[in-house]
Structure 1
Amino acid sequence: MASCLGCCCAPCKPRYRRLVDAIYPEQPDQGLVKANMQKLTFYACSHPEKLDRIGDYLVSRLSRDLYRLRLGLVKVSVEAMDQLLQSCHGSLSLNLFVESFLKMVQKLLETNDPELEMLATESFVNFANIEEDTPSYHRRYDFFISKFSSMCHRRTADRALSRRLRFAGLRGLRGVVWKTVSDDLQANIWEKQHMEKIVPSILYNMHDKDLDVNDVGDESDSCALGAGAVDGEQTATDSGSPKALSDQCLRELMGKASFGSMRSVLQPVLRHCDLHNLWIPPAEYAISSFRAIMYSIQTQYSYVVIQALIGHLDERGDADATTRIGIASVLSAIVPIAGTSIGPSLLEIFNSLLRHLRSSVEFQLSDACPSAEKEKLYQETLINAMGDFANSLPDYQKVEIMMFTIGKVPALNEESMKRSDAFLQHVLVKTLLKVATKYRTGYLATVLTSSFLGPLLKLAHVDDAKVRLLTQQILHTLIDRHANLAQLQHVGCVSDVAELQLTVEKSSRADQMFMKKNMHAILSTLYRSATSGGGVNSQANMDAILCTLSLLCVEVGFDEVLVELFRLVFGLQTSALDHTVRITAQNRARIHNLVAKYLNLSSQLLAIPALCQHIQQVIKSRSQRAHPALDLSSGQPADDGSGLETIEALRMDDDASLLFDKAAVADALRASGKDVTRLSMPFAAKATPDSLLVGGSAAHTVTDGGSASLDMSVDSSPGMSRDVSRRNTVFTAGPR
């Protein structure tokens, strides 16, 4: 009777159930009955209203087979569901079928059987690649995010199995991102609770080297990939490398992030680096991760990443110096990638970096600082970051940055400063120099505006000799337009100027106007720099002043500037001979040598025989009869003058042949056709740089010797290009 009942019930089953039953083989290991599967597929496509029932029935069969451990039949159910998804993805009833499909995948993942977990992951990834034609309003993936994230951290005794499970977990997370981001009606994948699971799972596999012993080079190779390198799933799948796939996952995630969701991804990245001590220098992992992020996001969002790092630096302000150095190193590494996209928040970002610099300076000088050396290294890293930051900006914004920085230099108007302010002054001038080296000057007036030049000239004669040296170096890099700085930086008493291979061009009308307006301010500052602070200047300071004089001679050496430079050096010679001026004997010798080196260089550039003969004769006489500290016959003094105690030891007072004669120089210049009227006037430096910068109309410029007319016509064309400039060009003997 039971057999008869069975024979009667089978035909009574709905047709879709009979079709589903037919796809299962008699023996579990025989696999899916393909012919019957084709019939089921045709029926599902022809009767889409039955699709949800087919899905429910397949799930019930799978649940029963799982309970009875018939794994072969479980795989048949999974394969059948996959094929139906592929064939019926355009059906209006697909949403209900997908619910059954996700229920099936969840049941497989809940078994905690590695093989079934990987089978479920493969099925889910296939589903994620399907573009659904009908929207879903209520589908959620919370369970899958949690499960795939846990698989990404799986560790087992079998290293190969652990590797496969992690790889499967990453693929699953990648599938969730694809499926949710592609449909705005899906659950919001960018919510905090989701990102705090997805992002750490990805990052963990990027830096965990326990399982990726064969992945050497993955990290460095991934840094070279751009935002377009997100379609390489096949490569990562073939290699089975969790590290390579995690890098791709991070890039894809950042590439899909909008402006509003960017921070929800960045915060877990920052927290992950904190928890795993990944900021510790050289911070290779943190740098590679943030480079991958910068290459993946939309260019206009680059500043958001920089702001997030700076904000994290704010939060970790009390952290160990090594951590802060690591964060600053990451900033330095990614700023060039951002390029000009950081323009909208330029001053805000730079102000934040300067604020951190000031805080570090104050902390270094406090008793709470455990290591001044580490704090100094942190400051150097910040300064380098700011230099790299400025290098990625257009020139006009570099000028803004320099003006902004010099405005932050403390207590320029005060005679005495606190120790912290003095130290900060030194650090900020180093920062200013770093930015200045990234700027290429076109016209001097463009960068050396009155609001920038005034404070800069003040810095050139402060008490701190290191600050004075750095300020001169800033002037060097801004004045030098023809790559002459390398040859003039430590120029000696050269016997043939042609050996220096200098590039000399006629200065533009705009530069001539600038020098006529600001020339005496600059030269007065150079005079005060050489003689201020009791004349305590190292040889490096004197070389820097000589370099500035030489660059002015080469870059803007028209007649009026040349005459004023001669006035300045004769003024320096007079001060070195004056017993009433507070200058040490050693520094008097250095001033005499500075004057000799400059006159030797400029006379050869002018190519006036009488002038060259006079200069060479004085230099020769000094080598024979003066103190060895003044012997420049070999290019540099034979003695550093460290043993000099009195001015009389220089043997200059009673022998006029050891001094350069202003009258002889004036006669030589006059014979060459130059106006030397002002050369007879003694050089007198003004008291403060502020009073030297003439404001208002530029119709004329008042100097210490009267007024000089100023041509208001401006040559708007830039100077000749470096490619066609004349090397070893000497100044013409006649008027320009």
Structure 2
Amino acid sequence: MNSLYCCAPCKPRYRKLVDNIYPRAINEGLINMQMQKLTFYAISHPEKLERIGEYLVQRLARDLARLRFVQVKIAVEAMDQLLEACHSSPSLVQFTENHLRMVQKLLESNIPVMEQLATTSFVKFSNIEENTPSYHRQYDFFISKFSQMCHSSHDEHWKVMRCAGLRGLRGVVWKSVTDGLHPTIWERQHMDKIVPSILFNLHEGDDDSCSGEEVLTGRNAFTSLVDENERDRDDPHTLSDQCLRELMGKATFGSMRAVMDPLLKHLDLHKKWQPPPNFAISLFKAILYSIQTQNSYFVIQELINHLDTMSSSNAKIRIGIATVLSSIVNIAGTSIGPLLLSIFNSLLKHLRTSVEFQQSYSCPNKEDETTYQETLINAMGDFANALPDYQKVEMMMFTVGNIPSLNNTNESSKSSDAFLQHVLVKTLLKVATKYRTAYLATVFTDSFLATLLRLALACDPQVRLNTLYIFHTLLDRHDNIHSLIHLGCELDVSDLQLTVEKCSRADQMFIRKHTNHLLTTLYKCVVKEGEGAELEERLDAIQCILCLLCIEVGYDEMLLELFRLSLSLQDYAADPTQKISDEKRMRVHNIVAKFLNVSSQLMALPSLCQHVQQIVANRASHGPPLMNLVEGVVESSEEGEIRLRVDEMDEKSGMLFDRGVISECLKASGKDTSRLVVPFSLNLSSLMPSSASSGPSLSLSPSGWEEEEDSRGKGEKREIDVDSLDLSFDVSPPETPSMRTTRRNTTVFSLLPNKTGLPVSVQALRTMVNTPVDAVEEEKRMMEMTSSVVEQLRSRPFEDISDEICKHNEEGDIVRTVSRLLARNSESVRLSEMGRTGGARPKDIFEIQLPPSYIY
């Protein structure tokens, strides 16, 4: 039958129309008039569209075999025009199969011009929306061929061929994603070809044309072009960037893993993690900017999982992965919230593993491990910066929970745990710098504050210093830290431009609860600091905390406690029995002078300011040179004049701050200075709460550091002075104006005449409530009562004490008490009482006379 088609009169009409589009001269192109007739015929007779396509493919194969490239181009152009004109035809599915056969034949020719022609035709096909689905179409051959073209490098047309391959892959992605019946594009066998082909052109162009600085800015590496048609054809680098963005933009959550796995493998094979990983950073930034925001955490999780896989690899590779993670985590934003603790726990696990590996003998390069740890810490800091405040608090609590305690560690693990403690405190500091404190009680929970106070007294000096810096960043809510960290003796504090606001009620309640613990720790920090080049830095950090407390929670009671601590530090520095160096004595005197200078000016007390500045001037003129805080402002003493040594300084010489003068100045301003005269001592009430039981408790006296550490190390048992035990508990409500004027009750018993210890009349009760309590007398009275209770417990038999208590409470005979209660509530008694009332009508509520004790 086909032999009859050789005769022109026997040819079908569609074949005649197809033959007429070819020109007689070879140099001429497609005959447009005949092409219009063919198009009209195909639209009018859709059942002939498939046969038209078959005949065009047949002629194209014959012309291609005979190297008639002009006729081949005419056939391709005719197929493209018919495809666009008949996109709604019911026979389009069969025609597209012929079109894909034509493209496949052109790609199989391995002729660069024909391959480019096939790619252009396929891209046009991918832009056409089909109304009728195709259930059996496959793009396996096209993916393989286009991927092969992306790696072309053997001739002078390599750049053009790579661009053609990239456009072909982009066309495959367009067509597969828009057609819901073709999900196989996301299979591993396809992604293993598409993703490496795109990345190969991406980093090849990056190596050839982009410098390091340009990659860091990301402008040349990943830029959306304005004129795509002009630059895409000649720039595989830019075209590959667009392909990657479109691929990630069309990927769903379930198909993202199929893209990420070959992407990470490609970076491993081509060693793109080596520092500085500029290409990897730019690559992941492009990915995160292309996908949906809620899916960003998946990329972060995949990168962390890859870090888990590479945990035993070279440190430089892990540094590169951690650097990429640190650079992109802020782009993910709050989308990482669902896996917050999981991701942060993974980072802490890597940090712990690196610390343990660094401390082992198998670590080849400890400097690289240190760099890796710092990179992880920076990544966690950037990770925290992208989270809301409440999740930053969770991260800090989680980090604190992973800090090891060095109390019960053996010698083999003590070194690694100490180093891990040092690293985790640095991590906590990094996270804390990203947090902005609103209310102190929100961040300083009991367990968190207890751990910080314990770390402030650690054996490692750097851990203590970093802990003080954590207090700096969490207490400073008005950015005053830069003016206070290296504070001198300012004659006018207004030059520092400090921001001071009134302390809120919530912060007052919080700091009133923890004042004793916090100030006790600060006192011990000063005592624990040893000698060394960094002594000034650590003492300045403590002085900065004192100033921050004065500014942030500077209500009257807290200010008096700070003054009391400062004067106690002065007594410590002036005590000749303390075995400390002269340098430390002078520096402790300096931090006291700096704090009193700032606080007196903030309180606007001229008399106190005058006293402080007079002492500072006397020290500058007659004291040791190290204590001259206003050098250059106050004239130095005459030459030959003998300066006082630090151990010769006392209040009579005008070189120390006078406790009495300070007390009078504060009393003149209307403040209660009764607590100021009480020396700063530590007792059992200064111990940490039960929430801090995981760490070492605070010692009982500031001068007992050596004894405490020795006894802790040797397991010795120290005797407890029974007279110093406080067996009373505080029953004051939180809103009591002063925590020092407390109402206390004895734990064991209180043998008062009326058994309850309360006044016997309403007038006496009013007098007791309205009378201000003397704090010193109250504390003295409670100590006497405690001593008497302890003395009775030590001297009297237990049976006598029990009998006396039962006698006073009239509850010795339990049988008699039970009988009395049963008789009072018995049925007969209640019936008799009802009978005595005679069924009288109850009184009206307005006729009831209240007793005098109810009337105020």
**Which residue number in structure 2 is paired with residue 467 of structure 1?**
463
* Offset of residue 188 of structure 1: 1.3
Q: Structure 1, residues 446-493: CA drift from partner, whole Å, max 9, x if none?
A: 111222211111111111111111111111111111111110011012
**Which residue number in structure 2 is paired with residue 729 of structure 1?**
none
* Offset of residue 238 of structure 1: 5.2
Q: State the identity as a percent.
A: 57
* Offset of residue 582 of structure 1: 4.9
CA distance in 1, matches of 2:306, 2:396: 25
- Partner of 1:278, secondary structure, is coil
Matched, 1:62 2:65: no
Matched, 1:79 2:77: yes
* Offset of residue 209 of structure 1: 3.2
**Which residue number in structure 1 is paired with residue 350 of structure 2?**
356
- Say whether the 8 Å CA contact 1:517–1:698 is kept in structure 2: no
Counterpart residue identity of residue 450, structure 2 = G
Matched, 1:531 2:524: no
* Offset of residue 700 of structure 1: 4.0
When residues 572 and 705 of structure 1 are mapped into structure 2, their CA distance, relative to the original with a 3 A threshold, is farther
- Say whether the 8 Å CA contact 1:494–1:635 is kept in structure 2: no
- Say whether the 8 Å CA contact 1:700–1:707 is kept in structure 2: no
2:117 aligned residue (119, 133, 140): 119
**Which residue number in structure 2 is paired with residue 562 of structure 1?**
559
CA distance in 2, matches of 1:546, 1:637: 23
**Which residue number in structure 2 is paired with residue 32 of structure 1?**
30
CA distance in 1, matches of 2:59, 2:589: 102
Q: Structure 1, residues 23-52: CA drift from partner, whole Å, max 9, x if none?
A: 122233312122111111111111111211
Matched, 1:198 2:200: no
2:88 aligned residue (79, 87, 90): 90
Q: Structure 1, residues 469-525: CA drift from partner, whole Å, max 9, x if none?
A: 111111111111111111001101222212111111111111111111111111111
**Aligned counterparts, 1:241-252, within 5 A:** 241-252=235-246
Counterpart residue identity of residue 120, structure 1 = A
Q: Structure 1, residues 188-222: CA drift from partner, whole Å, max 9, x if none?
A: 11111111110111111111038954999986776
- Say whether the 8 Å CA contact 2:396–2:432 is kept in structure 1: yes
CA distance in 2, matches of 1:374, 1:584: 39
CA distance in 2, matches of 1:676, 1:211: 73
**Which residue number in structure 1 is paired with residue 130 of structure 2?**
132
**Which residue number in structure 2 is paired with residue 178 of structure 1?**
174
Q: Structure 1, residues 340-398: CA drift from partner, whole Å, max 9, x if none?
A: 11111111111111111111111222222222222111111111111111111111111
Structure 2 gaps of 5+ residues are 636-643, 693-728, 745-856
Matched, 1:591 2:588: yes
Counterpart residue identity of residue 238, structure 2 = A
**Aligned counterparts, 1:263-342, within 5 A:** 263-342=257-336
* Offset of residue 71 of structure 1: 1.0
Counterpart residue identity of residue 612, structure 1 = C
When residues 236 and 356 of structure 1 are mapped into structure 2, their CA distance, relative to the original with a 3 A threshold, is farther
- Say whether the 8 Å CA contact 1:670–1:676 is kept in structure 2: yes
- Partner of 2:167, secondary structure, is helix
* Offset of residue 439 of structure 1: 1.0
* Offset of residue 237 of structure 1: 4.8
CA distance in 1, matches of 2:202, 2:5: 59
- Say whether the 8 Å CA contact 2:214–2:220 is kept in structure 1: no
Q: Structure 1, residues 659-683: CA drift from partner, whole Å, max 9, x if none?
A: 2221111111001111111111111
Q: Structure 1, residues 147-200: CA drift from partner, whole Å, max 9, x if none?
A: 101111100341xx1111111100000000000011110151111111111011
**Which residue number in structure 2 is paired with residue 728 of structure 1?**
none
Moved more, 432-441 or 576-585: 576-585
1:699 aligned residue (713, 722, 733): 733
- Partner of 1:300, secondary structure, is helix
* Offset of residue 685 of structure 1: 3.9
Counterpart residue identity of residue 318, structure 1 = S
When residues 589 and 562 of structure 1 are mapped into structure 2, their CA distance, relative to the original with a 3 A threshold, is same
1:571 aligned residue (543, 568, 578): 568
CA distance in 1, matches of 2:613, 2:273: 60
Matched, 1:454 2:450: yes
CA distance in 2, matches of 1:585, 1:77: 99
CA distance in 1, matches of 2:571, 2:75: 102
**Aligned counterparts, 1:16-27, within 5 A:** 16-27=14-25
Counterpart residue identity of residue 596, structure 1 = A
**Aligned counterparts, 1:639-650, within 5 A:** 650=647
| Number of aligned positions between the proteins | 695
Counterpart residue identity of residue 547, structure 1 = C
- Say whether the 8 Å CA contact 2:150–2:163 is kept in structure 1: yes
* Offset of residue 313 of structure 1: 0.7
**Which residue number in structure 1 is paired with residue 494 of structure 2?**
498
- Say whether the 8 Å CA contact 1:436–1:478 is kept in structure 2: yes
Matched, 1:377 2:375: no
CA distance in 1, matches of 2:542, 2:385: 27
Counterpart residue identity of residue 428, structure 1 = L
Counterpart residue identity of residue 733, structure 2 = A
Q: TM-score, normalised by structure 1?
A: 0.89
Q: TM-score, normalised by structure 2?
A: 0.77
Aligned-residue CA RMSD in angstroms? Answer: 3.0
- Say whether the 8 Å CA contact 1:22–1:36 is kept in structure 2: yes
Matched, 1:547 2:544: yes
Kindly indicate whether structure 1 or structure 2 has the higher relative contact order, using CA contacts under 8 Å at least 6 residues apart: 1
**Which residue number in structure 2 is paired with residue 104 of structure 1?**
102
**Which residue number in structure 2 is paired with residue 652 of structure 1?**
649
Counterpart residue identity of residue 542, structure 1 = L
* Offset of residue 607 of structure 1: 2.2
When residues 412 and 667 of structure 1 are mapped into structure 2, their CA distance, relative to the original with a 3 A threshold, is farther
Structure 1 gaps of 5+ residues are 639-646, 711-736
CA distance in 2, matches of 1:212, 1:266: 25
- Say whether the 8 Å CA contact 2:406–2:417 is kept in structure 1: no
**Which residue number in structure 2 is paired with residue 149 of structure 1?**
147
When residues 84 and 347 of structure 1 are mapped into structure 2, their CA distance, relative to the original with a 3 A threshold, is same
- Partner of 2:649, secondary structure, is coil
CA distance in 1, matches of 2:347, 2:687: 29
Counterpart residue identity of residue 352, structure 2 = R
**Which residue number in structure 1 is paired with residue 434 of structure 2?**
438
- Say whether the 8 Å CA contact 1:517–1:693 is kept in structure 2: no
Counterpart residue identity of residue 280, structure 1 = Q
CA distance in 2, matches of 1:211, 1:495: 59
When residues 311 and 576 of structure 1 are mapped into structure 2, their CA distance, relative to the original with a 3 A threshold, is same
CA distance in 1, matches of 2:336, 2:419: 29
CA distance in 1, matches of 2:691, 2:663: 28
**Which residue number in structure 2 is paired with residue 484 of structure 1?**
480
Counterpart residue identity of residue 397, structure 1 = Q
- Say whether the 8 Å CA contact 2:623–2:645 is kept in structure 1: no
CA distance in 2, matches of 1:696, 1:82: 92
- Partner of 2:186, secondary structure, is coil
- Partner of 1:95, secondary structure, is helix
- Say whether the 8 Å CA contact 2:103–2:118 is kept in structure 1: yes
* Offset of residue 554 of structure 1: 1.1
* Offset of residue 628 of structure 1: 2.5
CA distance in 1, matches of 2:20, 2:255: 48
- Partner of 2:514, secondary structure, is helix
* Offset of residue 526 of structure 1: 0.9
Moved more, 196-205 or 15-24: 15-24
| Higher CA-based Rg | 2
CA distance in 2, matches of 1:90, 1:705: 86
**Which residue number in structure 2 is paired with residue 727 of structure 1?**
none
Counterpart residue identity of residue 588, structure 1 = R
Counterpart residue identity of residue 396, structure 1 = Y
CA distance in 2, matches of 1:408, 1:7: 86
* Offset of residue 701 of structure 1: 9.3
Q: Structure 1, residues 394-428: CA drift from partner, whole Å, max 9, x if none?
A: 11111111111111111155487611111111111
Counterpart residue identity of residue 665, structure 2 = A
